[in-house]
Amino acid sequence: MTKSKDKITALIPHPFTEGRIDRLGDLVFATTYRLMPGLTNAITRQIATAIIHRWQKNQTGPHTLLFICNGNICRSAYAQWAAIKLQAEKLFPQTVASTRQSAAGDGRVQLALYSAGLFTSDNKPANPQAISSATKRDINLDEHRTTRFSTMTINDSVLLLPMTLTQYLRIIFANPHRIRHTVCFGLFALNSVKRLSIADPYGHTDDTFQECFARIDEGLEALSRMLH
């Protein structure tokens, strides 16, 4: 990923706090699912599938998954490095199909894995508790360094995967055209809990981190099945 002078600064004002919006979104989603489980499953699956297909067809060069949270020291950091480990073990796609012909002529392009934070600075290590909790899941975050989302160049080859509804809204409000290639990562992790957002474990116990990382693992597994 390359840097850009065009920084994203138009975010949702802070009075619209992440916790309030996410709790409201989770409540609405859980209520809808309880009343109409089949329809809710079908709609969420259709939304995620449509966005992924649109993302896959636009570029001939490498494609990128960009996991996003606030600080890039817990959730998105874990998602990136867990996916990298799965990719090395050939349990996560190393290439994805593209409807445009690739340079190799096989209709597939390379898949890169990155992460970033909306409210962070560059080159900070992962949170110590995140490192400790990830180690228990055989994920090494020692080499992780943060990246600020607003300093990244984002084009149509990048699929944006924010962890919460608020983060999704911040990205879309700042750049409405990104709605074509942005999907809440929680949509891929709805088997264990019916919540759109994956809450921040920062400042909580190892149990909270393990619950968070388990949802991320669930999301990576589902996302892997959808990428082809």
> Quick one: what percent of the chain has pLDDT higher than 70?
87
The tens digit of pLDDT for each residue in 131-143 reads 999 999 999 999 9
pLDDT at 146: 98
Quote the number of domains for the chain.
Answer: 1
Residue 159 lies in a domain: yes
Can you give the residue range of the structural domain that contains 152?
A: 18-226
The tens digit of pLDDT for each residue in 81-105 reads 999 999 999 999 999 887 655 445 5
Pick from 64, 67, 63: nearest CA to 98:
63
Pick from 9, 29, 18, 28: nearest CA to 166:
18
Tell me which residue has tokens 């919006």: 21
The better pLDDT of the pair 196, 217 is held by: 217
In the predicted structure, residue 174 carries a pLDDT above the cut 50: yes
Taking residues 44-63, report their average pLDDT: 84
Model confidence at 61, pLDDT cuts 50, 70, 90, reads confident
Exposure of 72 by Cβ count < 10 A (0-12 exposed, 13-18 middle, 19+ buried)? buried
Lowest mean pLDDT segment, chosen from 13-17, 156-160, 176-180:
13-17
Q: What is the mean pLDDT of the chain?
A: 87
Residue 181 lies in a domain: yes
Beta pairing class for 158-162 and 63-69: parallel
Residue 116 lies in a domain: yes
Quote the CA–CA distance of 64 and 128 in Å, as a whole number: 27
Handedness of CA 53, 164, 179, 66 (dihedral sign): negative
Q: Any idea what DSSP says for residue 188?
A: G
pLDDT at 10: 44
DSSP helix, strand, coil percent of the chain (3-state; round to 5): 45, 15, 40
Question: Residue 63: which H helix or E strand, with range?
Answer: strand 63-69
In the predicted structure, residue 192 carries a pLDDT above the cut 90: no
Residue 13 lies in a domain: no
State both tokens at 79: 């998602």
Residue 24 lies in a domain: yes
pLDDT at 114: 97
Residue 213 lies in a domain: yes
